[in-house]
Amino acid sequence: MKTTDYFQGFLDRLNKAGFSIFLEEKPFEAPPQVSSNKQILLASAMNLAAGLAGLPGFQHGVGYSQQHNKETLIEDLKQLQNHCDLIGIKDNFGTCHLRLAISADDIPDESLVGRLAIIHEQAQNFQKYTMSMNYARVRPWVQKLFGGSEGGNVECNVFLIFSAHKRAKEFFERHITKCKHGGLFKKIHTYPHIVDLEDEIYLNHSGKKAVIPK
């Protein structure tokens, strides 16, 4: 599979999945936030779950720390685009999902590892576009689990695209663990995915294989 064909397929899949595509030369539509009615339903469900678990409810509700500022969002996306070739962004029940693609053939391994670290750091900028659970008098570990006034969760999936199977395999074996960032009770997660165009497969950060869709 050619790199250009993969990128076109990647774009098509992002569009079908409801992602907003950021391309500087084209108009950008910011991803819609969860409606007020859905926020109320989510708050009710979370309070019910908290009650069943013996935890305090989210007394101050569920909501966004701020409304989307399109200009600020575009600036954050421009900063992120300095380290990748393509960006898709989506709001899924208040979680910010980022999908990035990098054509990796001409980039040294250590530079790719460094890029993933920078991308993870910059993903924190998107926390202000997430929905968080606001509450009073809860334990610190509950705050870490559900998020506070500073924002909710950001999930960033980065697809590293290699033309040759040998390079894709070697990069996975040597560097994949260094490219994954985040952990338990963390609200920012960055996951690397290896795209092997020669064998037409994906490898996620845990080594699970999948065939590239046609």
For residue 93, the SS3 value is coil
- Whether the CB-CB separation of 151 and 105 falls below 8 Å is answered with no
Cα–Cα distance measured from residue 68 to residue 144, given in angstroms and rounded to the nearest whole number: 23
Angle between helices 109-123 and 70-81 (to 10 degrees): 170
Whether pTM > 0.75 for this model: the answer is: yes
Q: What is residue 151's predicted lDDT score, i.e. its pLDDT?
A: 73
Q: What is residue 130's predicted lDDT score, i.e. its pLDDT?
A: 87
Angle between helices 109-123 and 165-179 (to 10 degrees): 40
Give exposure, 54-93, as e/b (b: 16+ Cβ within 10 Å).
ebebbeebbbbbeeeeeeebeebbeebeebbebbbbbbee
Q: What is residue 60's predicted lDDT score, i.e. its pLDDT?
A: 45
Locate 157 and state its tokens.
């999936």
The residue segments making up the domain with residue 108 are 3-211
Pair type for strands 86-92 and 131-133: unpaired
Could you give the number of structural domains in the chain? Answer: 1
Q: Mean pLDDT for the chain? A: 82
Q: What is residue 159's predicted lDDT score, i.e. its pLDDT?
A: 97
10-residue averages of pLDDT along the chain (214 residues): 93 94 81 58 53 50 61 93 95 90 97 97 92 56 52 92 97 96 88 96 92 84
- According to DSSP, the residues that pair with 63 across neighbouring strands are 132
Q: What is the DSSP letter of 49?
A: H
Q: What is residue 59's predicted lDDT score, i.e. its pLDDT?
A: 46
Which conformational region is residue 93 in: left (phi greater than 0), alpha (psi within -120 to 50 degrees), or beta? left
Q: What is residue 107's predicted lDDT score, i.e. its pLDDT?
A: 97
Number of H helices, E strands in the chain: 6, 9
Cα–Cα distance measured from residue 53 to residue 32, given in angstroms and rounded to the nearest whole number: 31
Q: What is residue 49's predicted lDDT score, i.e. its pLDDT?
A: 52
Q: What is residue 150's predicted lDDT score, i.e. its pLDDT?
A: 60
Within the chain, strands assigned E span 20-22, 62-64, 86-92, 95-103, 131-133, 154-162, 188-196, 201-204, 209-211
Cα–Cα distance measured from residue 202 to residue 138, given in angstroms and rounded to the nearest whole number: 41
